[in-house]
Amino acid sequence: MRKINISKYEGNTHYSVHVIDSYGQEHHLGYLGLTHSISMEDIDRMAEEIWSNETKKEVDLMSKAIKECIEIDIENGIEPSLD
């Protein structure tokens, strides 16, 4: 599902802008606020560019192995530690 998220950031004075592509990957576009901002036209343009060039990121094998080890620890009642 493609989506544009605009959420409050830093004490309600700024808004963070993210685009979600059809693979569920999140892309940060920037901030809307008083001092530095992007326009709605910029958001639309950047979202369309991301959506027209979508590719699914491959899972890093090391990250996948670490995640699976953590899940095994949790299943066996061991508190995971990355130290």
Average pLDDT over residues 4-33: 85
Q: Which tokens go with 65? A: 């192995």
pLDDT in tens, 47-56: 999 999 988 8
**What pLDDT is attached to residue 15?**
84
In this structure, how many other beta carbons lie within 10 angstroms of the beta carbon of residue 72?
11
Asked if pLDDT for residue 19 goes beyond 90, the answer is yes
Q: Name the strand (E) or helix (H) holding 17.
A: strand 14-20
pTM of the predicted model over 0.85: no
Query: Which residue, 32, 29, 27, is CA-closest to 10?
Result: 32
* Confidence tier at 3 by pLDDT (50, 70, 90): very high
pLDDT at 13: 76
**Mean pLDDT computed over every residue of the chain:** 84
